[in-house]
Structure 1
Amino acid sequence: MTPPAKVTNRAPSASTLSVLRRFFAERGDPEPFYDDLARRALDRFPVPVEGRRIADVACGTGQFTAALTERGARCVAIDLDRADIAGARARGLDAVWTDARWLPLADGSMDGVVCSNLLEHTPDPGSALAEIARVLAPGGWAWVSWTLWWSPWGGHAIAPFHLLGPRIGARVRHRLLGPPTGKNLPFERLWPTHAGSILRIVDELDQLQLDDCYPRYWPSQRWLMRVPVLREVAGWNAVLVLRRTADE
Structure 2
Amino acid sequence: MSGAAGRDCAGSGATGPLGPVGATGPAGPAGGPTRPAGTAITPAGTGFKDPSLRRSLALFRAFRHEQDDPAGCYTLLARDAADQIEAYDGLLGGRTVVDVGGGSGYFTEEFRRRGAHAYLFEPDVRELGSPTPNGTVIADGYLLPLADAVADVTFSSNVLEHVADPQTFLSELVRVTRPGGLIYVSFTNWLSPWGGHEWAPWHYLGADRARARYRRRTGRPAKHTLGENLFAVHIGPTLRQVKARDDVQVVSARSRYWPFLASAVTKAPGLREFATWNLLLILRRCHP
Task: Indicate whether the TM-score tops 0.5.
Answer: yes
Distance change in 2, residues 1:20/1:9 (3 Å): closer
How has the CA–CA distance of structure 1 residues 204 and 219 changed in structure 2, closer, same or farther, with 3 Å as cutoff? farther
Q: Which consecutive residues of structure 1, in runs of 5 or more, have no partner in the other structure? A: none
Tell whether the 8 Å contact from 2:105 to 2:133 is kept in structure 1 after alignment. Answer: no
RMSD over aligned CA atoms reads 2.4
SS of match in other structure, 1:44: helix
Q: Displacement, 1:30?
A: 2.4
CA distance change for structure 1 residues 245 and 166 in 2, over 3 Å: closer, same or farther? same
Match of 1:44 in 2: 84
1:179 & 1:200 partners in 2: Cα distance? 41
Paired residues in the alignment total 242
Match in the other structure for 1:159: 200
Evaluate the alpha carbon distance shift between residue 57 and residue 219 of structure 1 in structure 2; reply closer, same or farther with a 3 A threshold.
farther
Identical-residue share of aligned pairs (%): 38
1:11–1:71 Cα contact (<8 Å) kept: no
> Which residue, out of 81, 101, 108, partners 1:58?
101
CA–CA distance in structure 2, aligned partners of residues 217 and 93 of structure 1 = 30
TM-score scaled to structure 2, two decimals?
0.76
CA distance in structure 1 between the partners assigned to 2:59 and 2:244 by the alignment: 36
Aligned to 1:218: 258
Check 1:33–1:13 CA distance in 2 against 1; reply closer, same or farther (3 A cut): farther
> Deviation of residue 47 (structure 1)?
1.1
- SS of 2:89 mapped into structure 1: coil
1:130 corresponds in structure 2 to 171
Deviations 1:43-81, CA, capped at 9 Å, x for gaps: 233112221111001111111111111111111101112
CA deviations over 1:194-214 (Å, ceiling 9, x no partner)? 111211221233211111111
Q: TM-score, normalised by structure 1?
A: 0.87
Q: Which has the higher contact order (CA 8 A, sep 6+)?
A: 2
Q: How far apart, CA to CA, are the structure 2 residues paired with 1:210 and 1:217? A: 19
Of 70-79 and 200-209, more deviation after overlay is shown by 200-209
1:204 aligned residue (223, 244, 266): 244
Which of 185, 191, 195 is residue 235 of structure 2 equivalent to?
195
Q: Which of 109, 113, 120 is equivalent to 1:70? A: 113
Please identify, of 159-168 and 35-44, the stretch whose mean Cα deviation from structure 2 is larger: 159-168
- Deviating runs (4+, > 6 A) in structure 1? none
Instruction: Give 5+ residue unaligned stretches, structure 2.
Output: 2-37, 49-53
Q: Is the 8 A contact 2:120 2:133 kept in 1?
A: no
1:148 and 2:189 correspond: yes
Q: Kindly tell me: are residues 209 and 165 of structure 1, through their superposed partners in 2, closer, same or farther at Cα, counting changes over 3 Å?
A: farther
| 2:41 corresponds to | 7
Report the Cα distance in structure 1 between the residues aligned to 2:239 and 2:246, rounded to whole angstroms: 13
